[in-house]
Amino acid sequence: MTRTKPLFDRRSMAHAASVVAASVLTVAAFAAGAVAADAIPGQPAPAFTGQTAAGETVSLADLAGQTVVLEWTNHDCPYVRRHYQGNMQGLQSAAAEDGVVWIQVISSAPGEQGHVDAATALSLNEERGAPAAHTILDPEGVIGRAYDARTTPHIYVIDAEGVLQYAGGIDDIPRPRADSPEATPFVTMALDAVAEGRTPDPAATAPYGCSVKYAG
């Protein structure tokens, strides 16, 4: 009796499976990288819409024509606490005087360090004398992941045309000591450059601080 040859033998099935697996991995890798690839200095900043602690809805589109600063924050992070001993408030005040819209973003997930409700977020700013224009609550991490925000603090400067001009650290000294040199004020430098119509140099630096406490 003549045997019928199977439509797919084991070798062809194994090959097909490996191709499918490789394709899935490639798509997953592309998808994972696509979010971070959007937040590139010199390119349009990722669009966002968020709910603020004051109950307002704020979007990047609403702020067209204004320079915007996004500051990822976590009040329990030691790095954030250090900068909120006066440095961050000074930056926020100076930015406000220049018409810059300073937005804090809290991407800590429920149950994670730094997660707060709206009332607590407002209370924290009142206690610290922090004059941020808005505090966006991002517990699902949608905005944080769109910008690839990695640490608290992590700062982004967006110009009036919606172009991301700076992304990175607040300065270059994570752990200052008595004999440390004066910190390089990256955010101040970036804002000055944008105000003067120049490209910030550097436009990207390594942020430092606590990791953003995303869900999952």
Predicted confidence at residue 112, as pLDDT, reads 98
pLDDT of residue 199: 98
Residue with tokens 């499976």: 17
* Structure confidence by residue, pLDDT tens digits, 173-200: 999 999 999 999 999 999 999 999 999 9
Beta bridge partners of 101: 68
Helices 87-97 and 186-195 meet at what angle, rounded to 10?
0
pLDDT at 216: 85
Residue 131, pLDDT score: 98
Low-confidence ranges of the chain (pLDDT < 50): 1-37
Residue linked to tokens 């971070």: 36
pLDDT of residue 116: 98
**129 backbone φψ class: left, alpha, beta (φ>0; ψ -120 to 50):** left
Residues linked to residue 137 through DSSP beta bridges, in sequence order = 51, 106
